[in-house]
Structure 1
């Protein structure tokens, strides 16, 4: 099982050093609690939130960019075997998510049901590798 580090509510001006710690995730219950916290924090927001997830102690890849909306979300997996979730949205359009105060346009066809995102995060916690819900980039 991997120990994950999550960046969610750090201030975008911060240096991400010892004074601005990553949120450690060691169990599926901790991960579920964070998912629900993010969704609760942003229920009234115009755009859903994004988090970044990596493996603690590993300063390189793999890294996940994860969108956590109320009903939908996405996973973009950054590593040598990169990929993303593929849903039924229009690939020619984008949807907006917010990461630490910065607006990000995400391909609309990246969005999948939030339970698919949750399953992918659980797999990443269990294996530290690309979740099966993530398709390889063409």
Structure 2
């Protein structure tokens, strides 16, 4: 398990460091509690350039999205789910919006599980997720 830098607060000048599963849940709960689809960016605290996992959470609809970039996916990949949104979903990160593929959304519990796997694996791409090119 590694400590993560969590970026999600547009007014923060430094990341929130999470080093326990409970701490990660606290950050995910905070972002999920905001209105609309929002994103938290997770980086390995000791090596922020190693890999990135963006975790989008939309509690109102019970869905979320994932974006991963790391050694095995240097160009980045997004999650691929069964649900197709029309128009494609847009998730917000500190005031900026990102459009995801129409089929990128997954159930919230799957997205949260992926965030925990990223933490426990030391920043590896979460397994059990179907990924697609960005």
Which TM-score band applies after superposition, normalised by the shorter structure?
Answer: 0.7 to 0.9
Report the TM-score when normalising by structure 2.
0.84
2:12 aligned with 1:23: no
Quick one: which of 91, 102, 105 aligns to 2:99? 105
Counterpart CA distance in 1 for 2:85 and 2:57 is 19
- Mind listing any 5+ residue stretches in structure 1 that lack a counterpart? 15-19
Aligned residues: 127
In structure 2, the partner of 1:50 is 39
Would the aligned equivalents of 2:28 and 2:40 in 1 still touch at CA under 8 Å? no
Counterpart CA distance in 1 for 2:5 and 2:79 is 21
- Mind listing any 5+ residue stretches in structure 2 that lack a counterpart? none
In structure 2, the partner of 1:38 is 31
Deviations 1:23-59 (A, max 9, x none): 111111111111111112x1xx3x3101111000213
Bigger Cα Rg: 1
Would the aligned equivalents of 2:55 and 2:64 in 1 still touch at CA under 8 Å? yes
Would the aligned equivalents of 1:8 and 1:50 in 2 still touch at CA under 8 Å? yes
Report the TM-score when normalising by structure 1.
0.82
User: 1:1-138 residue pairs with structure 2 within 5 A?
Assistant: 1-11=1-11, 20-40=13-33, 42=34, 45=35, 47-70=36-59, 71-82=62-73, 83-90=77-84, 93-128=87-122, 129-137=124-132
Counterpart CA distance in 1 for 2:57 and 2:22 is 17
Aligned-pair CA distance for 1:98: 0.8
Would the aligned equivalents of 2:84 and 2:103 in 1 still touch at CA under 8 Å? yes
The structure in which a higher percent of residues are strand is: 2
